[in-house]
Structure 1
Amino acid sequence: MFRPEAPGEHIERHVEAVIEELVAELDHWSRTDPVPEGADDRAYVQAFSDARENSDRDQVTLLHAAVARPHLAEALIQRNRRMDREDLDPGHPAGVIGVIVRLAMDGLWVSDILDATRFDEAQRRRIIGILTGLTHLTDERLEGLLAEVVPGEQPD
């Protein structure tokens, strides 16, 4: 992507621009979602659902920024922290499921970068469909489902 002699500040400006564009897309997708609850999380799933298909965004650059130079990803980090605060607030109806969905998407995204053939298209659609579906659950409904699956144990 960059020539070996490319100045570091040029690379950093590019990475910041990629991150800022991603955050703008996330905001747009969230605002245009017809169902407000879970919209941020569905936007996140959409943005990170397939590194192979995101040819307009350099996925490896994003991963490198997240690991080696997190200050370049400040806009995305701040957006994620805002969503975490909202989702972990006991008064938020959707709640912790959003955090779980985003963490799962982070894992799928990294998996795609490391091994683009890990899942076939049908498996990928199923995974994305389930994660998207989870964004419509509330904490109350999730706790009910967990009580059915693990009798006698209640989530904290």
Structure 2
Amino acid sequence: MERVVVKSDSGVTGFAPGTRVKLVEDRGEKLFVTNDDNIRFEAPSDKVTNDLDLAALAARQDAQSQQALAQDMKERMDAYRAGKEKEIPLYDQQQREVEARREAAANAAKGNNPLDREAYHEKVSYPWWWHRHPYIYVRSSSKH
């Protein structure tokens, strides 16, 4: 036994194996049935049985397979989370190393910028016009 999928205007509905249905109309290969919620649908005759023991067995097997699937998914998720938890300290260590390298590079670069140093070609830094260069002429204000 397997699930029966019913398409309707409102979407798709799946009926699990062992779902109780009532026969409305028998058309040979196709059966029209209703479930407990009075949803009428068409089901292939090979997916419907009148043997209650077989239906109960199908429902039990479906429930067991669903539980096994849920358990497997839970185990996989737990393993994934455990792996991620192991990676967190590694990521933290890498982040600390990157931060330490960044700080070391910033400290090493201090003073290497020419704008951070004093003038290296003069002992005293004065504007050019204070040195009385020969190309600057000073006129005296007195007349001779």
TM over 0.5: same fold?
no
TM-score interval, normalised by the smaller of the two chains: under 0.3
Determine which structure has more spread, i.e. the larger CA radius of gyration: 2
TM-score, structure 2 as length reference: 0.22
State the structure with bigger RCO (CA 8 A, min sep 6), 1 or 2.
Answer: 1
